[in-house]
Structure 1
Amino acid sequence: MSFSICNLPPEYRYRTSNLLCTGILPGPKEQTGDQVQRYLRPVISDLLRLWRDGIMIPTESCPQGRLVRVVLVAAVCDKPAAHKIGGFGAHTHGKPCSMCWITQTDIKENLAFPSRTNDRHRELGEQYRQLKTKGARHAFVQAHSTRYTQLSRLPYFDIVNQVVIDPMHNLFLGAYRVNC
């Protein structure tokens, strides 16, 4: 997991010296959606504190420090990671889209499908979080293609619209053609 600072000019924003690496998920197997949430918990706790309280950063023009607040603008990942981080069902689920409720069987149809909303996603995620057994959670994800995400702790973050598939995977590698 890494973060870029959006306030930097674009030519500096993605230089490796300006990227903040907050964690590397261990192998040898890929993490499940619930396991990813455990790794996100401390990161989201830090983001919450930086948003609410901020941090004093001394600068040359302000040696006593300036109050800096931090917000997460977007979570940009490939499709499997976006689904795990955003609390969506697996990208291979019967409802594979993180933006609407299209089903795998209707994916070739040129129809309008009800959009997912941040409020409903948070509501379903909270219902998932309240479930006590692995079996109940599995059945819930099968039915609703939603699970709890730590991102829901950020009150300003719109999970449905701010968890995005990166352009390389979505357009250049053709993921859009095979997934919603």
Structure 2
Amino acid sequence: MPGKPKQHHVNHTLRILVKQLLAFWEGVYYTRTARHRIGRKVFVVLLPIVCDTEAAIQISGFAAHNHTYFCRRCLLPISDIYNLNPESWIMRDPVKHRELAFEWKVASRARRDAIYKTHGIRFTELMELPYWDPILFTVIDDMHFGYLGLFKTHLREIWGIDHEKNSGDGLHPDLSDKKRIKLPDCAMGESCISSITHSHLSVFSDLLAEIWADMARSVLPSWIQAAPSRWGIPSAGKLSADEYKVVCSISLVVTLIRVWGYGNKEQPQSRHFQMLLNFLELVRSMHIIFLRETSQSSRAYYKAHILSYLRGVLELYPDVTLASNHHLALHIITDLENMGPGHARSTPVFERINHLLQEIKKNGHLGELISQTCLLVLLIVHSR
């Protein structure tokens, strides 16, 4: 199906799945299995929904990322997205959410629009499962949130990497010289003031050559996929999630510490040195997110560094608007507490299936596509 499916298309497909899951919630008795000759009663439940944000809000019935109530965990309005104090956020109530979802199901079109506009909630067929909690079970996928979210946003939106622009210090060229902008310091409930100097947005136009040279001199372990040797220019194409990981957590760390750190005579007063420290806070945070274990101390470490990063972004780049992923960066701690490390529910394996399916030349033969899909799923299940 080309493009994004409509909500009623999603529910139509989910209805088939939910019908089977309801039977397994009560238990389905198999007269004989490979290990139990006299039969076995089987129970199956659906818990986490693992997908990117766009798919998650459709499957689970939440509002889009630009809605007033953009977050699927709390009721913080998008106008207060700069609030970095989680203790002040009002969490969504699963009971009230379920009531509104079923009200949406039987309501008129006008009432449905009103519920969606006021609460950011729609009905999803998964709500028919009596145990399913859309707030808890719609997890934040670490790959789309981290590598294709925070890393990509920092490079593309905050630093504005563009080899054709003049180099600058990450501030927007439209800001007048020494313009002062008040920013909300959400942790303290006060305002901080930053002095802005006129500059071009791009940070790396004069550093890309340095980064490429360091990459050419670097020897990576065989299990790490190297990024394109001349990434950052259109001919190199888009970076994949793994390539963003390598660029941000290895290549940039090596070069920026050398150039903005040890090679900077004005540190620590220079802006570039402060930008380096801020970026390293993000790298430290992502390192914790992608560990294969979690603990109370590691989550506290992550929270401290991600808060430091977000506050630094507000101070260093006052013209940048925080994105929904920046807000979710503080909610993902709940997923680590409830679901454990993310590697068992991360999406790279499913993205590989999608890529392989896109490579199949089906020529309109749906049966061939279905058989290939089943084969791919079986191969991946056995490989895990």
TM over 0.5: yes
Identity %: 33
Q: Partner of 1:113 in structure 2?
A: 89
**What is the match of residue 66 of structure 2?**
92
Deviation (angstroms), 1:131: 1.1
TM superposition score normalised by structure 2: 0.38
What residue is the counterpart of 2:140 in the other structure? 165
Q: Secondary structure at the match of 1:114?
A: coil
Range moving further from structure 2, 70-79 or 52-61: 52-61
- Compute the displacement of 1:57 (Å): 6.3
In structure 1, the partner of 2:209 is none
Q: Alignment RMSD, CA only?
A: 1.9
Secondary structure of the equivalent of 1:67? Answer: strand
The corresponding residue for 2:112 is 137
For residues 88 and 65 of structure 1, what CA distance do their matches in structure 2 show?
41
Q: Give the Å deviation of 1:51.
A: 1.3
**Gap regions ≥5 residues in structure 2:** 154-321, 328-384
Structure 1: distance between partners of 2:11 and 2:19: 12
Shift of 1:53: 2.9
Superposed displacement of residue 107, structure 1: 0.4
Aligned pairs for 1:17-166 (under 5 A) are: 27-56=1-30, 58-111=32-85, 112-133=88-109, 135-166=110-141
Within 2, Cα distance between the matches of 1:81 and 1:47? 20
Question: Measured at CA, do residues 168 and 55 of structure 1 come closer, stay the same or move farther in structure 2, by a change above 3 Å?
Answer: farther
Q: Residue type of the partner of 2:144?
A: H
Moved more, 114-123 or 88-97: 88-97
Alpha carbons of 1:104 and 1:140: their partners in 2 closer, same or farther (altered >3 Å)?
Answer: same
Q: How many residues align?
A: 153
Could you tell me how far apart the structure 1 residues matched to 2:19 and 2:96 are?
23
- Larger relative contact order (CA 8 Å, sep ≥ 6): 1
For the Cα contact (< 8 Å) 1:51–1:71, is it kept in 2?
yes
Matched AA of 2:89 = F
> Which is greater in Rg?
2
| Shift in CA distance, 170/57, structure 1 to aligned 2, threshold 3 Å | farther
Secondary structure (helix, strand or coil) at the match of 1:164 reads coil
2:8 counterpart letter in structure 1: D
Moved over 6 A (4+): none
1:178 aligns with 2:326: no
Tell me, in whole angstroms, the C-alpha distance in 1 between the residues paired with 2:5 and 2:44: 27
Work out the CA distance in 2 between the residues paired with 1:39 and 1:94. 28
Paired letter, 1:98: R
TM-score, structure 1 length as denominator? 0.77
**1-structure distance, mates of 2:13, 2:50:** 17
Amino acid in the other structure paired with 1:128? W
